[in-house]
Amino acid sequence: MTKTPAPPKRLLIRTWGCQMNVYDSARMADVLAPLGYAPTEQVEEADMVILNTCHIREKATEKVFSDLGRLRDAKQARGGEMVIAVAGCVAQAEGAEITARAPWVDIVLGPQSYHRLPEMVARASRAAGAVIETDFPAEDKFDHLPEQAAPQGATAFLTVQEGCDKFCSFCVVPYTRGAEYSRPVAAILAEARRLVSLGAREVTLLGQNVNAFHGEGPDGGAWSLGRLIHALAGIEGLARIRYTTSHPRDMDDELIAAHRDIPALMPFLHLPVQSGSDRVLKMMNRGHTADDYLRLVDRLRAARPDLALSTDIIAGHPGESEADHEATLALIRAVGFAQAFSFKYSARPGTPAATMAGAVEEAAKDARLAEIQALLRDQQTAFNLSRAGMVADVLVTGPGRHPGQMAGRTPWLNPVHFDGPDSLAGRIVPVKIVAGHPNSLTGALAVPPHPDSRERNAA
Ligand code: SAH
Ligand code: SF4
Ligand code: F3S
């Protein structure tokens, strides 16, 4: 008699926070695949649930605890047969607090420990209490991770740098992700080649402070991000390179020149400024003035005239006055952003800003944020409308919302919808932009697809 194979175990991963968490979630799935875990979206059938969490603002952290409450019920419904793991930045920051508030959690692991997941799962099955790993292990987790298994489609993330030494007044990242670390160049190039061989046409280099990259090159010396991008641009079939998130202080000449010299480096840059007031920037410990930022933007636009910029803004940092807020609006007007994220300041335990004098009242924070967001929304809409009439190279990412429709991204990262066949997925095609909307564009294929048009996409 043949033995029926054991049913696969099901793994559900929920991800919050930044793109690095998205990358980490994919890698945790890779690490657990050899143990027989296949992905699921249904909590009822999950043998294991991982919450990959974000600590950046209070709201993000609170969501974890409300989700854990619901997971307790789901675990009970399965007679306790569910391994619950909390990973990511809340795990790092609040390790023991999590198991105290939610004793049904089996595993707590920080962002530097997920290569240890298989061993932790085994330990959790024997342990009475929770298994916790929130050290920053000296060994490099990247050396212990399997290769990326699943192609992420036409676009892929690749972590090149992790951690942050900047210690902005408001931010938990230096505490949750630890000190800056850059992966060696050879490992990055190998991973990029592999992603391309799996179908990626676009790679986004990730790092909390990606342009502080100083990974060891094959020559033994430290390579800058600009130099790394030059090397990546030489990979056959890699059509588009992006990087995020960068700090204005680390935008060096080599990186600016890369925007001029490397066509594959896409003309879109996320460059957080946080505030337009020199007083606030100083309190934030950002290490630059508003004018430094504006001059940097000028240099970038001189290098790549079609560069579109995106940013992050915080409304209501302690000590921020109405005049400071006006300075932020003035900076936004001076730059003209194509896209942006803006947030109400949220006090984070353990950060210097949390104990600073001059807390801004909630109502004032709300009003300032609303004003900032209205301005940024207008700028984004204006940018999208300005694309109308252009023919843009669009990387087709997959089907659109309606039958017969495909979706893709312009060089400036706008989502575009246009009519076209499924066979275009993964290709870069010229699309005439017909209309701009607040959050996306609609277009039409500029040349009808023809089998021979594969040429422009030849790897
Ligand atoms: N490394 C990036 C940002 C990482 S966090 C940088 O240096 O800019 C992403 C964004 O969250 C930040 O740019 C900031 O705008 C926002 N943020 C971080 N801490 C915050 C806090 N305590 N309150 C509100 N927004 C915050
Ligand atoms: Fe946080 Fe500042 Fe580091 Fe960005 S540079 S991760 S905002 S401390
Ligand atoms: Fe959040 Fe951690 Fe990323 S706090 S933004 S998940 S680095």
Q: What is the pLDDT of residue 61?
A: 84
Question: Ligand 1, closest atom to CA 353?
Answer: 22
pLDDT in tens, 370-380: 999 999 999 99
Q: By mean pLDDT, which of 134-143, 196-205, 396-405 is the weakest?
A: 134-143
Residues 6+ apart with CB under 8 A from 394: 408, 409, 410, 416, 418, 428, 429, 430, 431, 443
Global pTM?
A: 0.92
Place of tokens 């400036």: 412
Q: Is residue 379 annotated as involved in ligand binding?
A: no
**Is there a single domain that holds both residue 399 and residue 370?**
no
Q: Is residue 168 annotated as involved in ligand binding?
A: yes
**Is there a single domain that holds both residue 188 and residue 304?**
no
Task: Give the total number of structural domains in the chain.
Answer: 4
**Is there a single domain that holds both residue 338 and residue 439?**
no
Of 412, 413, 425, 419, nearest to 454 by C-alpha is: 425
The dihedral through the CA atoms of 300, 338, 153, 245 has a sign that is positive
Residue 350 Cα to ligand 3 middle (Å): 15
Query: Are the CB atoms for 357 and 318 separated by under 8 Å?
Result: yes
Place of tokens 């190998």: 190
**Is there a single domain that holds both residue 185 and residue 108?**
no
- Pick the ligand that lies closest to the CA of residue 345: 1
Place of tokens 């607090």: 97
**Is there a single domain that holds both residue 15 and residue 99?**
yes
418 pLDDT more than 60: yes
Q: Is residue 164 annotated as involved in ligand binding?
A: yes
Q: Where are the beta strands (DSSP E) in 180-329?
A: 181-182, 202-206, 240-244, 268-270, 308-315
Q: What is the pLDDT of residue 459?
A: 39
Range of the domain at 441: 391-458
Residue 246 Cα to ligand 2 middle (Å): 9
Q: By mean pLDDT, which of 61-70, 141-150, 342-351 is the weakest?
A: 141-150
CA 284 to CA 248: how far, in whole Å?
14
CA 159 to CA 243: how far, in whole Å?
10
Question: Ligand 1, closest atom to CA 171?
Answer: 19
358 pLDDT more than 70: yes
Residue 353 Cα to ligand 2 middle (Å): 13
Residue 177 Cα to ligand 3 middle (Å): 8
Tell me, yes or no, whether 337 lies in a domain.
Answer: yes
Of 352, 361, 365, 208, nearest to 283 by C-alpha is: 352
Ligand 2 pocket at CB < 6 A:
164, 166-168, 171, 173-174, 208-209, 247
CA-based angle 88:92:96, to the nearest 5? 120
Question: Ligand 2, closest atom to CA 167?
Answer: 8
Length of the chain in terms of residues written = 459
Mean pLDDT, rounded, for 171-196: 95
Q: What is the CATH number of the domain that holds 56?
A: 3.40.50.12160
The dihedral through the CA atoms of 424, 428, 432, 438 has a sign that is positive
CA 280 to CA 357: how far, in whole Å?
13
Q: Is residue 18 annotated as involved in ligand binding?
A: yes
- Pick the ligand that lies closest to the CA of residue 311: 1
In the chain, the percentage of residues whose pLDDT exceeds 70 is 94
Ligand 3 pocket at CB < 6 A:
17-18, 20-21, 54-56, 88-89, 172-173, 176-177, 208
Tell me, yes or no, whether 166 lies in a domain.
Answer: yes
Residue type, 187: A
Inter-CA distances, 228 with 67, 200, 211, 255, Å: 40, 18, 10, 10
Q: Is residue 54 annotated as involved in ligand binding?
A: yes
Looking at every residue in the chain, the average pLDDT score rounds to: 92
**Is there a single domain that holds both residue 111 and residue 47?**
yes
